[in-house]
Each structure stands twice: as structure tokens, then as C-alpha cells.
Amino acid sequence: MALRYVTVDVFSDFRFGGNQLSVVLDAGGLDEELMQAIASEFSYAETTFVRPPADAANTAEVRIFTPKSEVPFAGHPNVGTAFALARIGEVFGKPVGETVRFEEKAGLVPVEIHRDGGDPVGARLTSPQPFELGDPVRADVIAACCGIEPSDIATHVHEPCKASCGLPWVFACAASPEVVARARPNSAAFAEHLPASASVGIELYAPVGGTAPNGADCTARVFAPEFGVTEDAATGSANVTLAGLLAALDPAADATLVTTISQGVEMGRPSLLIAEADKADGAVTATRIGGRCVPVMDGSLTLD
């Protein structure tokens, strides 16, 4: 038995930047144990498995695995999988149009295909769940997990907190971009204070006001060692939630707030994510994230 797979660099407009993704096609015959083993073999932040949908009105069921476990939703896997299917042009005998819909454990994920001259160049997803602000997290916990000092956290902007748009993350605003750059994840501290049952990991970010080389509004790093991802190069599920958080903190109402985030620079895999949050009557009503993608590999898995 052989299954086709493709790999994609997501949230980048050049090869070997962004976040790596492997997409296993026509994976309906694989059980969870084998999918987890394949994801561990690839050892990318995530691997997706494209399966026939339960509802024929949808494009596919998509299962998402990190090297250690399955997650109900993630950002770069959805953007990259939609881009990969658009390049192939069909899935399960149906043509891929301008929008795909993926059945996932967190809910239905609509993804718009971005094209240039008819060719797919990226995609943008809408979160499967509404923005939800969770509990505060102590600054000393963030400091221990990120190898910084509590005074390095800009608590006057907001207290570190949990938030989710389908996958729970912890968010902390750093006092400066330099703090973000010198952070070092401490796996033992994560295991003690933020186990996998509490959140996926931490996003440490700092506003840069569009002064980054790529014009980004924020610089960010994401650490998720409890899920086998010590540092992630581009994290759609975290940054789409960050967009919701920033919108919730902003006094503006009845607006769409757009935030661009630079990530992966310290890893040598620079990424650019474009996040949006709709706000009406003081509440966040929808969140989206997208970016460009680049194809990298096309091969087959030998399973017999």
C-alpha cells in the first residue's frame, strides 16, 4: 500500500521559509495509531490526513497530528492543506473551487483559496469557534516557561491569559521585541505549570508598529513543548486568537481589525501571518487568518 503525500511551506512566499506541513492524501483507511506514527516520522509541527467527509456537502475530513498527539484544530495545517488541494485541483473526485470546507474535531473550518493569475498562492481560514477569553496566568509562570523575568512582561497592556478560537493558548505581551528575541523555552517549567491538559503552549509577542523588515505589526514566538513542538515557526491557531484578543482589548467597535504577525525569525524560518477580527457592539464576532504558501515535496508513503 502506498499513499501520496505533499509537503508545503506555509505562511511564506519563498521555499524553506514559513512552517513545514506534510499532507497525506486519501487517508481514509488509516487508523489513529498509524496516523500518529506517520506524523512522528515526518516530525513536522503538524501533519494532516485528508479523509472522505461525513457530509458530502463538505470538502473533506481533516485530521491533524503533532509529533506527539492529535489536535482538534490548527492554523497552518488548514491553510497549507487547502493550498495543496487547490494545486492538485480535485479531492475525492470533486473539483476544488474558491472555498473548501474541512470537517475537524473543533468544528467546520471554511478556507478561502487565494490565487494569482488562476494559480493558488495561499489561503485564509475562518476559525471554527468564536473567540473565548479564558483565565489569567501568573507572570512568574510565563517567565519560568519562557526563560525571561516577570518584569519583562508588559502586564499594563494586559495580564497574561488563556484564550481560544478552537485551540487553547496562553498569551503574554512582552515589554519589547528584544524580550521576545531572547526568550528560551523551559520544557520542565511547561510540564510543571502548563501541561498539555491546560493549554497547547505560550505565544509571547510584542507590538512593533509595522517597523519589522516585512512590515509586520507584531513580532511573536510560540512554544509548545508538551505537544512535541519546542518552538513553532508559524502558528495560525495562536495568531488568529491573538487577533481576537487584540480586538477585544481595543475600544473600537463595528470594525474589522487587521494584524500582521512576524514569526519564525529566530528559527531561520521567517513567516508572515495576516490575521483579522470582526468586532460589533463591543464583541468579537469572527476571526480569520491567512497567508501565502509554497510547494516543496511530492512523494509516496510505503505502508506494506
CB contact set of 48 (below 8 Å; sequence gap of 6+): 21, 22, 23, 24, 62, 63, 64, 65, 77, 80, 81
Q: Is 226 a catalytic residue?
A: no
What stretch of H or E contains 142? helix 139-146
- At residue 212, the pLDDT reads 81
What value does the mean pLDDT take over residues 56-67? Answer: 98
pLDDT in tens, 220-277: 999 999 999 999 999 999 999 999 999 999 987 788 999 999 999 999 999 999 999 9
pLDDT at 251: 85
Confidence of residue 213 (pLDDT cuts 50, 70, 90): confident
**113, 149: one domain:** no
The answer to whether residues 291 and 272 touch, using CB atoms and an 8 Å cutoff, is: yes
Same domain, 144 and 99: no
Mean pLDDT on 19-29: 97
What cell was used for 54?
461525513
Amino acid at 217: D
Q: Of how many residues is the chain composed? A: 304
Lowest average pLDDT, out of 73-87, 144-158, 202-216, goes to 202-216
Q: How distant is the alpha carbon of residue 42 from its chain centre? A: 18
Examine the domain organization and report whether 145 and 283 are in the same domain: yes
The reply to whether 193 and 92 lie within a common domain is no
148 and 97 within one domain:
no
User: Does 153 have pLDDT greater than 90?
Assistant: yes
Q: Say what percent of the chain tops pLDDT 70.
A: 100
Same domain, residue pair 172 and 199: yes
Q: What is the pTM of this model?
A: 0.96
What does the alpha-carbon distance between residue 258 and residue 248 come to, in Å, rounded to a whole number?
A: 13
Q: Catalytic pick from 32, 33, 46, 226?
A: 46
Domain match, 66 and 91 both:
yes
Q: Mark whether 47 and 106 lie in a shared domain.
A: yes
Give the model's confidence band at 210: pLDDT under 50 very low, under 70 low, under 90 confident, else very high.
Answer: confident
The residue range of the domain holding 265 is 132-291
User: 222 to each of 15, 50, 183, 285, 286, how far by Cα in Å?
Assistant: 21, 26, 10, 25, 22
- Are 116 and 25 within one domain? yes
Domain shared by 218 and 88, yes or no: no
Residue 264's CATH number:
3.10.310.10
The pLDDT value given to residue 280: 92
Domains: count for the chain: 2
Burial pattern 56-95, b for ≥16 Cβ within 10 A else e, equals eebbbbbbbbbbbebbebbbbbbbbbbbbbbbeeebeeee
Least confident of 19-23, 163-167, 247-251: 247-251
- 108 and 177 assigned to the same domain: no
* Whether 82 and 174 share a structural domain: no
